[in-house]
Amino acid sequence: MIRHYGVTSMRNSGLIRQFVLGSGLALGLGLAVPGQAAEDTIKIGVLHSLSGTMAISETTLKDTILMLVDEQNKKGGLLGKKLEAVVVDPASNWPLFAEKARELLEKDKVAAVFGCWTSVSRKSVLPVFEELNGLLFYPVQYEGEESSKNVFYTGAAPNQQAIPAVDYLMDLGVKRWVLAGTDYVYPRTTNKILEAYLKLKGVADADILINYTPFGHSDWQSIVSDIKKFGSAGKKTAVVSTINGDANVPFYKELGNQGISAENIPVVAFSVGEEELSGIDTKPLVGHLAAWNYFMSVDTPENAAFIQTWHDFIKNPKRVTNDPMEAHYIGFNLWVQAVEKAGTTDTDKVEQAIIGLETPNLTGGIAKMLPNHHITKPVLIGEIQDDGQFAVVWETEGTVPGDAWSDYLPGSKDLEADWTTPIKCGNYNTLTKTCLGASAP
């Protein structure tokens, strides 16, 4: 059962196609049983951009939640009720994210919200969730330096993506580093952590080049030229990319235009997956890298079943899967378990019930919700193939626990997040034994 609210105009026919497809599926699944009252359903919010610069990434996440709701309803729903997805479009507009979040919690009375991509959108809605005591499941890698009682971070923290990726490149002999990102909180904070880490490893200031561009940036000629020049100093150079959204398309095209290949200056991306590559010619990009916790190409029974379910639901065998989809899969399944364990959708009871719960991931391991509201994840490095998929070239032996606070920033290394008794705090100072900010009641 699905409702769509507040969807604004699309920017291109591809997004229109995706939205119409999603809406059509919604109509097919959302027919109410005659005589069924609203209170007979459990509502969940879907807070993803279906238009604007981030729609290229977020529309698929909306579809993923609709699929998971459909699958759960086929199993009989939850607590004897059907699930109802309430879909809103914050349109890549960060203040609108907060407005739509408030609407979902106050007007629609949703039990939980699955949404956001950028950290600026998450930061925008965070005060709303804390004020109204709602639950947000956030499915995308982020910069860390946060742990809220009202948020579950099912994407990667820096120690589950950025740091292992840099270690991998160092093992390949990289000595010079371009930290290229979109100009907002996630790239800036992640690069601050990476810069501190690189210097700790002995990298000189002169061997680090940092560059930021606005959302939707399209003219990459001079920037890529600067990267090419920086990489011509006789030291092995790599680009660590925190570029987000549709700006990735012209960025990768310009790399190809200027002859930058993985052999001379490899790029490792943290926000480019199968979905972003599906609309461009990947042949010039073969060999460039991405660091994620899941790739569609992973060969496990769990992943094969997930892909089949996705293709059956979306009715398009060409649609790809990606890492944030897996994060939503994990988060949704943990939420369902927590509600069943608590016997209620009450926020406080679900928040406590979910800690320590486990569910299979799609790479053959187990995801566990930790007391800091992060999960355990494997780390994978994938190499772009000419078909737009990734070949896994490196992975951790097991799962890595997500760390809310970086060990490499002076203001963070002494902080700990633990939402269980007796601490119940998202930023507990282990030296002073005090909670620096809001804690659970």
Is 109 found in the same domain as 37?
A: yes
Is 359 found in the same domain as 212?
A: no
Does residue 441 lie within any of the structural domains?
A: no
Is 81 found in the same domain as 193?
A: no
Residue 347 exposure: Cα atoms within 13 Å on the Cβ side: 22
Q: Cα separation of 34 and 27, whole Å?
A: 15
Q: How far is CA 341 from the centre of its chain?
A: 26
CATH number of the domain to which 365 belongs: 3.40.50.2300
Does residue 188 lie within any of the structural domains?
A: yes
Does residue 434 lie within any of the structural domains?
A: no
Is 397 found in the same domain as 345?
A: no
Is 203 found in the same domain as 141?
A: no
DSSP summary character for residue 131: H
Share of the chain above pLDDT 70, in %: 90
Structure tokens at 115: 């949404």
Is 323 found in the same domain as 184?
A: no
Model confidence at 2, pLDDT cuts 50, 70, 90, reads low
Is 82 found in the same domain as 147?
A: yes
Does residue 437 lie within any of the structural domains?
A: no
Is 281 found in the same domain as 175?
A: yes
pTM to 2 decimal places: 0.88
Lowest mean pLDDT among 2-16, 395-409, 416-430: 2-16
Residue 59 contacts residue 18 (beta carbons within 8 Å): yes
Does residue 171 lie within any of the structural domains?
A: yes
Residue 211 contacts residue 146 (beta carbons within 8 Å): no
Is 202 found in the same domain as 306?
A: no
Q: Is the pLDDT of residue 17 over 60?
A: no
* Structure confidence at residue 5 (pLDDT): 57
DSSP summary character for residue 79: T
| Cβ neighbours, 10 Å, residue 156 | 28
Domain, as residue range, for 75: 2-156+301-377
Is 243 found in the same domain as 390?
A: yes
Instruction: Give the chain's domain count.
Output: 2
Q: Cα separation of 356 and 377, whole Å?
A: 14
Is 19 found in the same domain as 85?
A: yes
Q: Cα separation of 15 and 310, whole Å?
A: 18
* Structure confidence at residue 24 (pLDDT): 40
Is 315 found in the same domain as 231?
A: no
Does residue 292 lie within any of the structural domains?
A: yes
Structure tokens at 244: 């987000």
> Both ends of the chain: CA-CA distance in Å?
34
